[in-house]
Chain A
Amino acid sequence: MKRSYLGEFEEIVLLTAAVLELQGQAYGVAITHEIIEQTGRSVRLNQIHAALDRLEDKGMVKSEMGEPTAERGGRRKRLFTVTAYGRRTLQEIQEVRVSFWSRLLNPLNSLGFGALG
């Protein structure tokens, strides 16, 4: 299976972006806060921006400028959307993990004995 390599951090960012996208909130600072709150990591804004840049280079997200907001001093947000390729990549990562997890939880399955017990 060949695809663009996605780092663990990038994966989290991409995943968060995908989640926030549903609320139309996938932009730098929101993603940062979400990650801080959900994972307890102390990430910094510029790291998120760098990761989003890399993801955009890899074609996993697209971005466009949103509407100006008052709380940002009238500045626009850069809103991200996860591309189909990005989604598929996330899914593949998920599948690989699930398949490993299932073998770990139920070792017999992986040996080909089926659901015996």
Chain B
Amino acid sequence: MHQAPRPMPPELADKLLRFFLADDRLEEVLGDLHEDYRWQVNRVGERRARWRYWWDAIGFLKPWTLKRTINKYPTPTNTTMLRNYLKIAWRNLIREKGYSTINIVGLSVGMGVAMLIGLWIYDELSFNKSHQHYDRIAQVMENQTLEQGIQTYGALPLPLSQELRTQYASDFKAVAATTEFEQIITYQDKKFTRFGNFAEADYPEILTLRMLSGNRQALRDPGSVLLAKSTALALFGNSNPLHKLVKVGNRYTLQVAGVFDDLPHNTSFKNVTFIAPIKLLFESSEDMDNWRSSSFAIFTQLNPGSDFGHVSQKIKDVFRKHTQDKAQSSLFLYPMADWHLYSEFKNGAYAGGRIQFVWLFGCIGLFVLLLACINFMNLSTARSEKRAKEVGIRKAIGSMRSQLIGQFFSESFLFVATAFALSVVLVQLVLPTFNEVADKQLIILWTNPIFWVACLSFSLLTGFLAGSYPAFYLSSFQPIKVLKGGAFRVGRFASLPRKVLVVVQFTVSVTLIIGTIVVFRQIQFAQNRPVGYSRNGLINITMNTPEIQGRYDALRNELLATGAVSDMAESSSPITNIWSSANNLEWRGKDPNRPAAFGTIAITPEFGNVVQWKVKEGRSFSRQFSSDSLAFLFNEAAVKLTGLKNRNGGPPVGETIRWHGKDWKLIGIVKDMVMTSPFEPVTPTVFMMNTNERSLNVIHIKLNPVLSAHDALSKLEPVFKKFNPASPFEYKFADEEYAKKFAAEQRIGQLASFFAALAILISCLGLFGLASFVAEQRTKEIGVRKVLGASVFNLWGLLSKDFVTLVLISCLLSTPITWYLLTNWLDNYEYRTELSWWIFGVASLGALAITLLTVSFQSIKAALINPVKSLRSE
């Protein structure tokens, strides 16, 4: 009988289902589909039936039908197996002590480093977050387009604050101008020099100070002061500070109207130890309406619903409306969230800041952890030959692959758990030192759930990373091959992944070594920069009390009479900083639309002698010429900026500069002095004798080199006490102040070298383990070679050669990486060292030496073994 060919449903759809559907479903579903198909063919024809078939098949790809393991048998108790895994893992751990130690030490150091860095990053990222309205606070900043490019300033005139408060009340919840001071605070016989603020009334509100007594609004009363808890405690001990009278700067007697909790270490305001009303700084309300003096920081808190970008646009031109001489200036809001990590501006836009360090350390932490994981993987796979039999037997007697994977993972998790416990102990031990180096107050966040979640996930991740390779690799062995007896041989390329991992490790290590060398060289380079003055025995004393101001000449005479002082001068800024600037100088040939910014410093004529600067052209100030009160000295940078030349094309001594409606005569040019950042170009600076323009704040004293600094200072103290009995005698050495400029870089350098050392340690641990494994594996070969007459040196070379090759490859690889990274980093600095080839050479040689040291121990040990022993077993 003839039978028409049966219409067959689409095979591809069946394949799809076979692939995706759970096994226990497949039969029934396919059966139903096929049956349905035939029914549909009769009903709607073959073409549409096929279409429907597809449509239905896809309909089955739902979560409830998808492939998953369904346990057909009741599981006895899952913990039984887990207990068994752990027991075996524990026995393995105990049996192979050396190997376990290397792994656990490596892992715990890696995890410890990662944890430290994690804490550090957490601290950096949570900077300022303790302020309640963190996301709505901003500082008002100004961008000025100047000859040098766009410069960003945070110092603004006081009336701007009032203007913003009243004209833009719908956007700002609070606006407060403030200025920071170091002042002497006195109560009865107790005196302290403290940093604090003179601020407008909204300031405590913006900072959301936690008041312990009194209230935040107290600054509206101009006779009041708020103290931080620590200040109050220092002044009053346990007695109630409220309503007591304290003297601030020996000038203002103020009533304590409130005590606020100390600000946490990680905020931009950690220095605030007292807050006094800003009105105290002014004698009249007209003084307070001066748009020309920009010396206040203005902080704002936005209303909910206003956003920074929008408000920035609105207030852009507020300042310019009130001043005529600023050609190009615009205001913008600088959100608190960016203050700490994005603190550098270049051409009016963010140019990074600490965020770079966060990234840098984040990468280092990850890499160090990765190195530790690599060790684990390498050692496990290296030992795979040993464990191959175990795997074979287990498989032969019916272990499923998933069980073996479970076994290996539980081993790695046991390692990780032990390492984690150790790493917590390590971190706890290292934390005090780390805090000192990093200038932080980190603690292990025992009570913070985020910390535990992070630790748990990072342990799991480490366990997974470290265990994945052994688990999947070892469990893939074919029992038949392994058990055939000695026939199991890892193929030619079996050790390739291991080699790649070693290369990765050493690339990271060498990169870190080179990075550390360059960071330190850059610091060295900047420290050795010629500063243009002499720091020897140079101290400065800030005058923050009225007693000294005005009696300077008498003070000078008495100090010189002690013999401890070789000379002394006054100026408006310390030698290591420039406190004021001007951008409204006019000179011949200047483009009137491009203002240029100069540092401005008022000095007394002895200043040059005290700091021992070098006058390159013309002459310095002198008391003999009364006309010098309208004279300028330029530094070389200022000459360059103005482009001034005299008629003959020579140095512009004798030129006239117009400033504040007067003609100033340029009488001399001094050699550049590094007064601001040693990494930046020298600030163009104008020196003047005129104290109406800039007031004198700092006394510079050159100590007599004949006496020791200690003796000299002990002679100075009584004189200062006599003139200024109310103040503590506080001085700063210029060289110490200068050294502080490198603190940030130094800190980074120290931390980086610390981490680099640990990275190398971890890599070497891994290498040590691998070398011991290789030596063990080749024991017989070595025995044979020895018998045939190989020398110890031969054998040592044989065993070390492979590792040396790997490390050499790492050195080659790390060179372009470090070259790229470090060139980028150095680009941040105007004054920077060059990357020279020898650094790469030294780092490579260093890495090589360390490798040889590590490997030699094992290879020499192996080479010295008596061949009788190693060959006896056969």
User: Chain A interface (Cβ within 8 Å of chain B)?
Assistant: 27-29, 32-33, 44-47, 49-50, 53, 65, 69, 71-73, 75-78
Contacts and interface: CB of A to CB of B under 8 A. Distances in A.
Interface in B45-67: 55-56, 59-60, 62, 64-65
A75 B64 contact: no
Given A28-B29, A46-B59, A71-B34, 19 more contacts: A29-B32, A29-B39, A44-B55, A45-B36, A45-B60, A46-B56, A46-B60, A46-B62, A46-B65, A49-B29, A50-B64, A53-B64, A72-B30, A73-B31, A75-B30, A75-B31, A76-B27, A76-B31, A78-B28
Interface string B10-47: 00000000000000000111111111101100000000
Nearest to B40: A33
B30 A73 contact: yes
Given A50-B64, A53-B64, A28 B32 contact: yes
B51 to A, nearest CB: 13
Contacts of B27: 65, 75-76
A32 B31 CA distance: 13
B59 A47 contact: yes
B60 A72 contact: no
B28 A65 contact: yes
A53 B22 CA distance: 14
A38 to B, nearest CB: 15
Nearest to A73: B34
Nearest to B38: A71
A69 B34 CA distance: 11
Nearest to A27: B32
A45 B32 contact: yes
B41 to A, nearest CB: 12
Contacts of B34: 71-73, 75
Nearest 10 pairs of A and B residues by beta carbon: A75-B31, A46-B59, A72-B31, A29-B32, A28-B32, A78-B28, A29-B35, A29-B36, A46-B60, A45-B56
Contacts of B31: 29, 69, 72-73, 75-77
A69 B55 CA distance: 24
Contacts of A69: 31, 35
Contacts of A77: 28, 31-32
Nearest to A57: B64
Interface of B: 27-36, 38-39, 55-56, 59-60, 62, 64-65
Nearest to A31: B32
Most B CB contacts (10 A, CB to CB) among A32, A45, A77 go to A45
B29 to A, nearest CB: 7
A43 B28 CA distance: 18
A28 B28 contact: yes
A76 B28 contact: yes
Contacts of B62: 46, 50
Contacts of A32: 32, 36
Contacts of A50: 62, 64
Contact of A75 (B28, B38, B55): B28
Contacts of A76: 27-28, 31
A45 B59 contact: yes
Contacts of A78: 28
A76 B85 CA distance: 40
29 contacts: A27-B28, A27-B32, A28-B32, A29-B33, A29-B35, A29-B36, A32-B32, A32-B36, A44-B55, A44-B56, A44-B59, A45-B32, A45-B56, A45-B60, A46-B62, A49-B32, A49-B60, A50-B64, A53-B64, A65-B28, A71-B35, A72-B31, A72-B32, A73-B30, A73-B31, A73-B34, A75-B30, A76-B28, A77-B28
Contacts of B30: 72-73, 75
Contacts of A29: 31-33, 35-36, 39
B529 to A, nearest CB: 77
A21 B857 CA distance: 80
Most A CB contacts (10 A, CB to CB) among B29, B32, B64 go to B32
Contacts of B59: 44-47
Contacts of B36: 29, 32-33, 45
A15 B668 CA distance: 108
A114 B62 CA distance: 54
Nearest to A46: B59
A75 B35 CA distance: 10
Contacts of A28: 28-29, 32
B701 to A, nearest CB: 90
Contacts of B32: 27-29, 32, 45, 49, 72, 77
A81 to B, nearest CB: 15
Contacts of B29: 28, 49
Nearest to B59: A46
A78 B35 CA distance: 13
A32 B62 CA distance: 18
A75 B14 CA distance: 14
A85 B33 CA distance: 29
Contacts of A47: 59
Given A75-B30, A78-B28, A33 B39 contact: yes
B382 to A, nearest CB: 49
A44 B36 CA distance: 10
A45 B55 CA distance: 10
A6 B666 CA distance: 98
A68 B324 CA distance: 97
A65 to B, nearest CB: 7
B514 to A, nearest CB: 61
B259 to A, nearest CB: 63
Most A CB contacts (10 A, CB to CB) among B27, B33, B35 go to B35
Contacts of B64: 50, 53
A80 to B, nearest CB: 11
